[in-house]
Amino acid sequence: MIDHDADLVARMRAGDESAFAELVRRYQPRLLRLARTMVPSTAIAEEVVQETWLGVVRGVDKFEGRSSFKTWLYRILANRARSAGGREQRAGLPAGDVVERFDRSGAWAEPPEPWADRVDDRLLADKVAARLVDLMGELPAAQREVVMLRDVEGLPAADVAAVVGVSDVHQRVLLHRGRARLRQLLTAEMA
């Protein structure tokens, strides 16, 4: 796997401010989106992201590259958000048979049918996607973090487990439960 950020990190270590600016441009929207799911308000999310970038500037020389820069960055954000938010919730198991829609690895047991390319379907998909973002707030914090990192940010399972600070197995459970709960909430609304 190619680490597209490695050159920017090396340039940043050498004092190249434009490399830092490029990293901020690349990750700022993603960090803010993730932080908003981890803390109670947009203002706190913005502070968490700012503290994350300060942590990057202060700690870039200590970054050893054992994980990708992206994983390291999200880990800093998650730690800052946990400190700022002070809100740890237990992961709840959704009711009903919704859980069986996913297998043990967190993949769909029975994948949803592909959406057609018709305009109406695309408009509906945009509305459903926006509603899913709203429904993310209904998830317990740990589930919300894992679903955001895996399904929105596209991080691999091992990196998500490291960022959230849980075992790989627990990460899969949180992902499974979060996806199941979102599907249950959306299904209830669309019924």
Q: Could you report the per-residue pLDDT of 84-136, keeping only the tens digit for each?
A: 765 433 334 344 444 456 666 666 666 666 555 555 566 666 777 778 888 88
* Lookup: tokens for 155: 């991080």
The answer to whether 106 and 74 are in contact (CB under 8 A) is no
Angle between helices 69-85 and 17-38 (to 10 degrees): 50
Nearest-10 Cα torsion for 174, 140, 92, 74:
20
**pLDDT for residue 89:** 36
| Interval 37-93: pLDDT, tens | 888 888 888 999 999 999 999 999 888 888 889 999 999 999 998 887 654 333 343
Looking at residue 1, its pLDDT comes to: 47
Please, what are the domains in the chain? 6-85 (1.10.1740.10), 96-190 (1.10.10.10)
For residues 72 and 89, what is the distance between their CA atoms, to the nearest angstrom? 24
Supply the pTM of this predicted model: 0.59
Instruction: In whole angstroms, give the CA distance from residue 60 to residue 107.
Output: 35
